[in-house]
Amino acid sequence: MSEQGACAGAVLTIDLGAIADNYRLLRQRSPQAVCGAAVKADAYGLGADRVATALANAGCRHFFVAHLDEGIQLRRHLPAHAEIYVLHGQSPGAEMECVYHRLTPVLNSTNQIADWRALARRLDRALPAIVQVDSGMSRLGLSGAEVDALLDDPEGLHGVELRYLMSHLACAEAQDHPMNEAQLSAFEAVRARFPACKASLANSSGIFLGPRYHFDLLRPGAALYGIAPVAGAANPMKPVVRLQARVIQTRLIGAGDAVGYGATYRAASTRRLATLSVGYADGWLRAFSNRGIVMAGAASVPILGRVSMDTCTIDVTDADPATVQPGALVDLISPARPIDAVAADAGTIAYEILTSLGRRYHRRYLDAEPPRTTPVERQAAKLPRNVTVSNSTYN
């Protein structure tokens, strides 16, 4: 039998235990708020089914997806008491799908509110929802004038069971950006008009702006997956992702030889190259051309020439030859090459690196520690040690 993943050009390892630890770290930062999780876009490319299950076992019970379809898929993997919120709300005509699959829409516009209210009337029962207000990002949510109109309308939120009033921060990773305070006070002003309603404002970075931004429900995504929540500060989150690419072959080139499409790199002296089995079709972005860095063992080595669809080429002249034999794996993302530094090489953000991760990788999941149970609970459940039980503590 060959090594696991030997048939794949690259291996992606996702540490579910680190995701659970990151969840606990964020929850500890705000004892008074409930901590949810953004698992949209297939949990930022890491696999929503596995990630959401690990988070549910760590005690999370509020999950955010973007599309209704994502919510329908996710519902199959989560315990019945888990709440799934659909950030984009329902599109016209799809309201009933939310009810069938027990998904709670985030209502972002007067139209979405009217459609939800109409369904509540038709079914003759209150239907749960989050209402989003725009506090300065001009993306989703009611404007100030629309909030006025909603509150003036006697029908307004009739039949809508308002779970949370929500808004989203535009600049939270930049802690001293004036937008943060401006959005907070805009949100506070709207919230004062819905006095009985709970509120939700903070994404990952918002949590690190301090307790005034926490309200009742936190919505972290990025930080759970190891992305640094505060720009320019040490990253308190555990790394979650390791990406390794396989060496296909090595070769020597001489002064004047070109590398890759467009011949954008030309060697000034003799170099040893290794060609890796990873390219832009895997989400290893073309923007890494002549800019990216890879770890061959302990050596940090540059990408030379353009990244192709299925391959890229690195300069291993200074690397230990044993680390770049054909079949060896080099690290593209690892503790020595943190995801935020990798993103900076490509002139992008770590969110885009994760959500671009390709389908061709061999995926390995490192399992989360099962939730801690007392010996009595273990006995009661007649479970051997280290078996996951479903009645872990939820907040």
Ligand X SMILES: *Cc1c(COP(=O)(O)O)cnc(C)c1O
Q: What residues contact residue 359 under an 8 Å CB cut-off, 6+ apart?
A: none
Distance between CA atoms of residues 377 and 156, nearest Å: 47
Choose the binding region for ligand X from 23-31, 184-192, 216-224, 316-324 (rule: CB under 6 A): 216-224
Chosen residue from 26, 56, 60, 87 binding ligand X by CB under 6 A: 87
* Closest by CA position to 48, among listed 31, 81, 71: 71
Q: Which is nearer to ligand X, 180 or 203 (CB)?
A: 203
CB of 106 to ligand X, least distance (A): 8
Q: How far apart are CA 12 and CA 334, in angstroms?
A: 10
Specify the residue, 40 or 191, whose C-beta has the smaller distance to ligand X.
40
- Rounded CA gap, 236 and 313, in Å? 33
Instruction: Report how far apart the first and last C-alpha atoms of the chain are (Å, whole number).
Output: 44
Active site residue 40: yes
Q: Could you tell me the smallest distance in angstroms from the CB atom of residue 38 to ligand X?
A: 4
Which one among 204, 275, 323, 334 touches ligand X, defined by CB under 6 A? 204
9 binds ligand X (CB under 6 A): no
Beta carbon of residue 126, minimum distance to ligand X (angstroms, whole number): 24
The answer to whether 244 and 330 are in contact (CB under 8 A) is: yes
- Within its chain, how far is the Cα of 381 from the centroid? 33
The dihedral built from the CA positions of residue 331, 334, 335 and 339, taken in this order, carries a sign that is: positive
Interface mask toward ligand X for 300-319; x: CB under 6 A: --------------------
Q: CA-CA distance, 163 to 9, in Å (whole number)?
A: 46
Quick check: 27 binds ligand X (CB under 6 A)?
no
Which of 47, 89, 128, 221 binds ligand X (CB under 6 A)? It is 221
- DSSP-derived secondary structure letter, 242: E
**222 binds ligand X per the rule CB under 6 A:** yes
Q: From the list 220, 260, 279, 305, which residue makes contact with ligand X (rule: CB under 6 A)? A: 220
Q: Give the C-alpha separation, 130 to 63, whole Å.
A: 13
Candidates 217-225, 259-267, 288-296, 373-381; binding stretch for ligand X (CB under 6 A): 217-225
Task: Tell me the per-residue interface mask from 31 to 70 with ligand X, x by CB under 6 A, - otherwise.
Answer: -------x-x------------------------------
Determine if 274 is a binding residue for ligand X (CB under 6 A). Answer: no
Residue among 100, 238, 261, 365 flagged as catalytic: 261
CB of 168 or CB of 214, closer to ligand X: 168
Query: Using CA atoms, how far apart are residues 138 and 217, in angstroms rounded to an integer?
Result: 22
219 sits near ligand X (criterion: CB under 6 A): yes
C-alpha distances (whole Å) from 103 to each of 82, 171, 367, 391 are 10, 29, 27, 22
Q: Tell me which of 23, 40, 44, 213 is the catalytic residue.
A: 40
CA nearest to 59, candidates 31, 26, 83, 23: 23
Q: Does 163 bind ligand X (CB under 6 A)?
A: no
Q: Which is nearer to ligand X, 86 or 276 (CB)?
A: 86
Q: Are 27 and 222 in contact (CB under 8 A)?
A: no
For residues 217 and 285, which CB has a smaller minimum distance to ligand X in the complex?
217
Per DSSP, the three-state class of 201 is coil
φ/ψ (deg, to 5) at 325: -60, 150
Q: Catalytic residue at 23?
A: no
Our CB check for ligand X shows the closer of 34 and 222 to be 222
Question: Which residues form the interface with ligand X (CB under 6 A)?
Answer: 38, 40, 87, 168, 203-205, 219-223
Q: Which residues are catalytic?
A: 40, 261
